[in-house]
Chains A and B, each alone.
Chain A
């Protein structure tokens, strides 16, 4: 794993050199954390509408996004522009996913916003220690001038990241994850965006404010993470990753007897470890991947242990295979 280190740096450096970032220079360590914090604030507090492209090996998918902050309360509507119609509404502390062809509404008791509004001092320290942050040149994304940034990994245990932000508001316009061969494993970008529009909550209303009577409303088997000591530990944690959370996913009837979840972060990404009884959602062992997300599952006694995160396959596998009882 360590042997991948020089190759990764070379590949990443060459990828960067051929991009618009030829004039990149190292930024102060705290700039990385500040940049991420500013982007998170902008994504939460601004009104914006735009078209998004999400690209990975399987192809490109596009979606329309409307985000409204109405006096501190967030409303968001996202619907895809290709493939079967899908709509995602985020409001009032929950997320509703509409599947008109299947006549299903799935309700998630999550907001995907407040878990970690900013990086902890530990995460900021990892970020500075395990990535070289460079401020690049000014490029163009979605018709806007965009400030380029690179987060170059210092070892083979994490992907490289290229980010483009709006210099005025700090909002993220484009993000790329790059593997050890300098290839883009995942890319997400605005194709067009309108920032600061005057929008009210009605702009992010669902197409189906009341679910049609013949639709099914489904609620997930597992609920939110309830902090707890799980008795599990990753014995050989790869350098730079530190635990940020530990607990159990809520089971049926509000009981916190679901899978154990341990979350480790290096400041840029996270790897979650799920320890579930056999018969849980993960039925097979081995690797799986989806864009920049890698997963590795292994059986241990009556449990299936799964590590999942925006980290290279080897890092995720190393974590999954060293989970043990404390």
Chain B
């Protein structure tokens, strides 16, 4: 079920039957908490840190029930290399950190969150890593690069090193 919820949010459920079944499943106990939890994780990944106190309690409950929820099983198109796994684990730590922040600094915005949870967004929940090839190609063109004796490689070597070594 959690896999289907995640795929639904990613826009990866292709046939209508699967979408209907997943939406119906959301009415079951616990499923909606997972749904909301995934959205909070997605939002914190995207830097949109906002959660209501009530949601925080439900999130905490969902986390207690579903210890694997922060790392939903994903289909991968090719075998994960050690480098990818390393990058993913670093990002996962960041997610946990951000989630903790969002729980403690949660403003009361239940309405906004309800609207958020009701809309199916294509944004991915996976820990996202900016591709090193893009990062380097971009850095060469950015005006911030030449003013810093340290800019591009410093950032890439430290933050994207796993991807670079691939």
Determine the distance from Cα of A291 to Cα of B153 in the docked complex, in whole angstroms: 14
Residues of chain B within 8 A (CB-CB) of A178 are none
Report B-chain residues with C-beta under 8 Å of the C-beta of A113.
Answer: 145-146
Interface residue tally on B, bucketed by range: 35 or more
Once the chains are docked, how many angstroms separate the CA of A117 from the CA of B140? 11
User: In the complex, what distance in Å separates the CA atom of A282 from the CA atom of B124?
Assistant: 12
Q: Is A135 an interface residue (CB 8 A)?
A: no
Q: How far is the CA of A270 from the CA of B151 in the complex (A)?
A: 14
B121 CB to nearest chain A CB (Å): 8
Structural contact, A83 and B141, CB atoms closer than 8 A? no
Chain B 106-141: CB-based contact to A (< 8 A → 1; otherwise 0): 000000000000000111101011111111111111
Taking beta carbons and an 8 Å cutoff, which residues of B are in contact with A? 11, 42, 45-47, 77, 83, 90, 94, 97-98, 121-124, 126, 128-155, 157-161, 164-165
Per CB-CB distance, the 9 closest pairs between chain A and chain B, nearest first, are A286-B123, A288-B128, A281-B131, A43-B149, A272-B138, A40-B146, A39-B147, A284-B124, A287-B46
Stretch binding the partner chain, chosen from A138-146, A200-208, A232-240, A307-315: A307-315
Q: Which residues of A contact B135 (CB under 8 A)?
A: 293, 308
Interface status of A175 (Cβ within 8 A of chain B): yes
23 contacts between A and B (CB under 8 A): A63-B150, A65-B150, A76-B149, A78-B157, A80-B158, A86-B157, A88-B154, A112-B153, A115-B146, A116-B146, A172-B149, A188-B151, A221-B133, A245-B141, A261-B141, A265-B143, A268-B144, A274-B137, A284-B126, A285-B124, A287-B123, A293-B135, A295-B134
How near does chain A come to B107, taking the closest CB pair, in angstroms? 12
Q: B94, B123, B141: which contacts A270 (Cβ < 8 A)?
A: B141
Q: Determine how close the nearest CB of chain A comes to the CB of B145; give it in whole angstroms.
A: 6
Given A78-B154, A274-B137, 15 more A-B residue pairs with CB atoms under 8 Å apart are: A40-B146, A43-B147, A54-B155, A57-B94, A58-B97, A78-B153, A86-B157, A112-B145, A221-B133, A263-B138, A274-B134, A285-B122, A286-B123, A291-B155, A295-B130
Q: How far is the CB of A190 from chain B (nearest CB, A)?
A: 8
- Complex CA–CA separation, A313 to B150 (angstroms): 24
B141 touches A244 (CB 8 A): yes
**Total A-B residue pairs with C-beta atoms closer than 8 Å?**
192
In the docked arrangement, what's the CA distance between A281 and B147, Å?
28
B153 contacts A123, C-beta separation under 8 Å: no
Is B134's CB under 8 angstroms from A65's CB? Answer: no
Closest CB in chain B relative to A106 CB, distance in Å:
6
Q: How far is the CA of A301 from the CA of B58 in the complex (A)?
A: 39
Who on chain A is nearest to B122 by CB?
A: A285
Flag if A44 contacts B164 (CB, 8 Å): no
Is there a chain B Cβ closer than 8 Å to A67's Cβ?
Answer: yes
**When chains A and B are docked, how far (Å) is the Cα of A119 from the Cα of B130?**
26
A83 contacts B148, CB within 8 Å?
A: no
Judged by a CB distance under 8 angstroms, whether A75 is at the interface is: no
Quick check: A282 and B98 within 8 Å, CB to CB?
Answer: no
Tell whether A222 is near chain B: CB-to-CB under 8 Å.
yes
Q: Which residue of B lies closest to A163 (CB)?
A: B147
Question: A172 vs B146: C-alpha distance in the bound complex, in angstroms?
Answer: 10
Find B165's partner among A99, A265, A293, A306 (CB 8 Å cutoff): A99
Note all chain A residues with C-beta closer than 8 A to B90.
58
**Chain B nearest CB, measured from A105 CB (Å):** 10
Distance A58 CA – B95 CA, assembled complex (angstroms): 10
- Inter-chain CA distance A76–B144, complex, in Å, is 18
Asked if B141 and A188 make an inter-chain contact with CB atoms under 8 angstroms apart, the answer reads no
User: How far apart are the CA atoms of A200 and B166 in the complex, in Å?
Assistant: 33
- Measured CB to CB, the nearest residue on chain B to A87 is B157
Q: Is B148 within 8 A of A44, CB to CB?
A: no
Residues of A within 8 A of B122 (CB): 285-286
Does B137 contact A261, Cβ atoms closer than 8 Å? Answer: yes
Q: What is the chain A residue whose CB lies nearest that of B140?
A: A115
Q: Which residues of A in the span 290-325 have a Cβ within 8 Å of any Cβ on B?
A: 290-291, 293, 295, 306, 308-310, 313
Known A-B contacts A225-B137, A290-B159; A310 and B144 likewise in contact (beta carbons under 8 Å): yes
The complex places the Cα of A115 from the Cα of B160 at a distance, in Å, of 22
Q: A56, A270, A286, A291 — which one has the most chain B CB atoms within 10 A of its CB?
A: A286
A123 touches B140 (CB 8 A): no
Is the Cβ of B143 less than 8 Å from the Cβ of A86? no
Given A86-B161, A284-B124, A222–B133 Cβ distance below 8 Å?
yes
